[in-house]
Structure 1
Amino acid sequence: MKNFFLFAMVALLVSSCQNDDSSADSSFSMKASGADYTGYPATVQTVSGAITTNTTWTNDKVWEIDGVITVKDGAKLTIQPGTFIKAKPLAPGVATGVLVITKSGQIDAQGTAAAPVVFTSYNLLDGNANTVAAPGDFGGVVVLGNAEVNNGLTTNIVEGLDDQANFSEFYYGGTNNAHNAGSLTYVRIEFAGRILDTDIEINGLTFAGVGNGTVVNHIQVSYGRDDSYEFFGGTVNATHLVSFAADDDNFDFDLGYTGSITKAIAIADSNSTHSLSGGNPDSNGIELDNNAGGTVTTLITRPVISQLSIIGVSSSTVAALYENAIHVRRAGKISLTDATVTGYKTGIRWESPSVPGGSTWLRVSIHGFDNPLLPAGTVLGGIGNATSTVNPATKWSLSQPFFNDGALNFTGTTGAFKTEANWTSNWTKFTNF
């Protein structure tokens, strides 16, 4: 397995929090040879264009996406457990390795804990131990649907594909909140992302107008070039989500998303890349908007999130690489239950007119090196809520949650693990690539 180091920080920052993670808890290492990069098939099958009939990608090949693949016209793409998918390298700036499930298509990617479906860098599947992976080596997975979006439009063009010729293939939004785009279970997406321009990017996994008939659980997105997950409107529910080492935001919600997220964890890696806005840190655990203009609409962005852990870094010095653990702004709202947040300068930042009316919380523990809660004076009243400003960061009953401080160990019944201990075992990957 290759060693992988992304854009190392200056020595002061690294030495303040970085320890070798090679001794990571075995529950977080890959145990199934079928999901290890030394065991991928030798045969490569290149695919391109549109999928318009039911199609299966089998696990006896590595599937190479040439450009942008669309699944449409009632077709379903089935991906077998243990299948590897990579992008075909193209000219700089050209979209490649992008899988789009359109409004009229479906996906059935059902991996297992022993054999997840893996979208990853071509540099990890080339048989060359000297090549290394980087964010943007794979384009991303985009799922589109007919569920409600709060601008009322059915012709929204998904972000990051604005330069493509057939705009209508990338429309999302509608009136069918029960829309079913298929199933994504036990899937890893690594080194994804495409940057077209400021605020025009493809994320690791994008849901746009996707309805609650869609099944989403046990997903890990790692080392993305932009956000790990972004939800543009829709009602899709998801469980058991892992975001690791995101360049920008771990979870991003906007345009009226009202689904539920249950059992989710975001883990920062100080050695990954970090997005900037105007030269200032712009990476958040959660970023949430009602819409870009901050206008109040009939349908308000309000994800319902329970059993959540957002884990930054243990050092206040290294925390300067990031912005907020949770940023609720532009008229958006949030519901939090059984959430633990630690390792960011600011725990929860509410911006007007989101402050914080319409948002709810229960059994929430928030740490922030500078401020657990902004604006100053905001309180989380009620039983089971707590705040902290200590340095090093509060662990909130987890044994060792900070990736750069040694062996990962999520022992404890808090946040993402309140009712199910170590559900990340076996199918996830946290070691250096």
Structure 2
Amino acid sequence: MKKINLTTLLVIFALSTITAQQEKGVTGYENWLNPWTEFKPNKTEYGKPTQILSGTITKDTKLNKRDTYLLVGDVFVTDSTTLKIEPGTVILGDFKSKGSLTISNGSTIIAEGESTDPIIFTSSQSVKQPGDWGGLFILGDAPTNNIKNASTLNYGLDSSDVNHISYGGDNAESNSGILQYVRIEYAGKRTKEYGYFNGLTLAGVGSETILDNVMVSFCEGNSFSILGGAVSLDKFVSYKSSANDYKLNYGAQCVLTNSLAIKSPYVSGQGTSRCIYALNNDEPQKTVLDKNRTLVQANNLTLINLSNDLDYDIQIGLVNEAIFIGENVTFKIHESVISGFKPAVIFDNNITINSESLDRIEFTSTYFNNCIGNIFIEGNSNNEDLENWYGSRAFNNVYSKGPDSETFIDATSTKRPDFRLIINKIAASSTNDD
């Protein structure tokens, strides 16, 4: 890139941006992970199932805390039905049949857990492993950027009616229900033809759907997969996924706030495992470029790679980038923390570095810590232009090499970790009530 172009862009950006001076990474006067999350789920006993869920649910149904439910096979909620789940309810995914739950387009899930009584989806096994069961799918009629408005899930779900696995439409504000204080553990079954299931798949889900305080842990596939739609995710947690923590595709419009992705160099699948994998459409022959392009607006994220010996793990190739940004994606991240990766960010090699692309990809007031390199083009070891651009004072990014013990309040606890930043020995906090 010509230096004159970078200089001109920086001046324009500096004049048009008011830099907010809030703390970086996950925020809150209190550690909002307490008490609803669980970082050692294999130590928890949930008892034997008392009720079985199977086949197709075609009338309004309520799951009660007093019962423990077993998902047998692929279960579908259809025909504009509402599935309501009481706080504290436990749903076990059957290991033998690799149970899964799909909320079909037009139906609704009302899963309102409580901070002290979350709803739990987990494995039926006494010794739990990633991929023990399928996962949770929520389908809506919000837009995608596929050529056809309606698409179908390609996961090999055993459905007698294609409408049960269809998603997408024209209703960006559609409402698929509520997920609050929900944990999804040990999902991500492997299929021979379609790869791995995700912990939570949101396909064509619209903006009226309420999604906050959701944790996916030890998933063999992606923790969260957002296929099109328009969603706002708040206080989402991905813990030690074997694949990507947040994968966005098919023109997803996603606002992601005050959320976590916690990786381990010792937990990974066959492919590259990233915190955020943002694609416009990984099937370009099926997309329309003038339709919605994938847009990610991220604020107060903490993306951390937990390692006892980061230098060694990097040396033997167990660490890769935290964020991958695909061609034609708009990606803007603000007041966030990216810690312990090699490098922090990679751009698809089809992205041309010019004013148009850099206007779509912003890193502002973000803390890059313990990363071997910051922002690169895929396959290009020379990132001088990008370093100069994003390292400008206009963007207010910060670069450091601090150990986790001096960076986060308590990142190593498996009982009650706290990933808020320590700044001058004071925890990062929100300017508003949490």
TM bucket, shorter chain: 0.7 to 0.9
**8 Å CA contact 1:154, 1:173 repeated in 2:** yes
**8 Å CA contact 1:252, 1:286 repeated in 2:** yes
The one of 419, 422, 433 aligned to 2:430: 419
In 1, the alpha carbon distance for the partners of 2:213 and 2:66 equals 23
Aligned to 1:208: 203
Q: Where does 1:256-275 land on structure 2 (aligned, <5 Å)?
A: 256-271=251-266, 273-275=267-269
**8 Å CA contact 1:312, 1:402 repeated in 2:** no
Instruction: Report how far residue 409 of structure 1 moved.
Output: 3.3
Aligned to 2:3: none
Do residues 340 (structure 1) and 337 (structure 2) align?
yes
Do residues 232 (structure 1) and 224 (structure 2) align?
no
Deviations 1:366-391 (A, max 9, x none): 23542111131213132421234x4x
In 1, the alpha carbon distance for the partners of 2:106 and 2:229 equals 16
Aligned to 2:10: none
Aligned to 1:149: 144
Q: Where does 1:243-282 land on structure 2 (aligned, <5 Å)?
A: 243-271=238-266, 273-277=267-271, 282=272
Gaps of at least 5 residues in structure 1 are 1-24, 124-130, 424-433
**8 Å CA contact 1:303, 1:334 repeated in 2:** yes
Q: Which amino acid aligns with 1:64?
A: L
3-state SS, counterpart of residue 164 of structure 2: helix
Pair 27,194 (structure 1): closer, same or farther in 2 beyond 3 Å? closer
Do residues 303 (structure 1) and 296 (structure 2) align?
yes
Aligned to 2:88: 82
Aligned to 2:276: 286
Pair 77,408 (structure 1): closer, same or farther in 2 beyond 3 Å? same
The one of 43, 51, 75 aligned to 1:69: 75
Do residues 109 (structure 1) and 111 (structure 2) align?
yes
**8 Å CA contact 2:34, 2:115 repeated in 1:** no
Q: Which amino acid aligns with 1:410?
A: F
Aligned to 1:173: 168
3-state SS, counterpart of residue 119 of structure 1: strand
Pair 38,335 (structure 1): closer, same or farther in 2 beyond 3 Å? closer
3-state SS, counterpart of residue 418 of structure 2: coil
The one of 397, 410, 426 aligned to 1:385: 397
Instruction: Report how far residue 206 of structure 1 moved.
Output: 0.5
Gaps of at least 5 residues in structure 2 are 1-30, 378-382
In 2, the alpha carbon distance for the partners of 1:221 and 1:105 equals 23
3-state SS, counterpart of residue 409 of structure 2: coil
Deviations 1:274-319 (A, max 9, x none): 1123xxxx00011110011467712210111111000013413224
Deviations 1:358-415 (A, max 9, x none): 1123211223542111131213132421234x4x6567842343568x973334378x
Deviations 1:63-103 (A, max 9, x none): 0011111111111000000000012232xxx5x32110111
Deviations 1:165-187 (A, max 9, x none): 53331011110001100000000
In 1, the alpha carbon distance for the partners of 2:175 and 2:236 equals 19
CA-based RMSD of the aligned residues comes to 3.1
3-state SS, counterpart of residue 104 of structure 1: coil
3-state SS, counterpart of residue 259 of structure 1: strand
The one of 318, 322, 325 aligned to 2:319: 322
In 2, the alpha carbon distance for the partners of 1:66 and 1:162 equals 13
Aligned to 1:408: 417
Aligned to 2:368: 366
In 1, the alpha carbon distance for the partners of 2:115 and 2:59 equals 29
Instruction: Report how far residue 104 of structure 1 moved.
Output: 1.6
Do residues 50 (structure 1) and 56 (structure 2) align?
yes
In 2, the alpha carbon distance for the partners of 1:198 and 1:329 equals 25
Q: Which moved more, 1:153-162 or 1:185-194?
A: 153-162
**8 Å CA contact 2:280, 2:294 repeated in 1:** yes
Q: Between the two proteins, what is the percent identity of the paired residues?
A: 25
**8 Å CA contact 1:159, 1:201 repeated in 2:** no
Deviations 1:196-220 (A, max 9, x none): 2476331000101100010000000
Pair 252,38 (structure 1): closer, same or farther in 2 beyond 3 Å? closer
**8 Å CA contact 2:36, 2:118 repeated in 1:** no
**8 Å CA contact 2:218, 2:239 repeated in 1:** yes
Instruction: Report how far residue 134 of structure 1 moved.
Output: 0.2
Q: Which moved more, 1:214-223 or 1:159-168?
A: 159-168
**8 Å CA contact 2:35, 2:115 repeated in 1:** no
Pair 396,255 (structure 1): closer, same or farther in 2 beyond 3 Å? farther
Aligned to 2:12: none
Aligned residues: 377
**8 Å CA contact 1:268, 1:403 repeated in 2:** no
Aligned to 2:27: none
Aligned to 1:399: 409
In 2, the alpha carbon distance for the partners of 1:73 and 1:133 equals 33
Q: Where does 1:350-365 land on structure 2 (aligned, <5 Å)?
A: 350-354=347-351, 355=353, 356-357=357-358, 358-365=360-367
In 2, the alpha carbon distance for the partners of 1:335 and 1:229 equals 19
Deviations 1:255-275 (A, max 9, x none): 10112111110112344x311
The TM-score, its normalising length taken from structure 1, stands at: 0.79
3-state SS, counterpart of residue 408 of structure 2: coil
3-state SS, counterpart of residue 321 of structure 1: coil
Q: Rg: which structure is higher?
A: 2
Pair 191,362 (structure 1): closer, same or farther in 2 beyond 3 Å? same
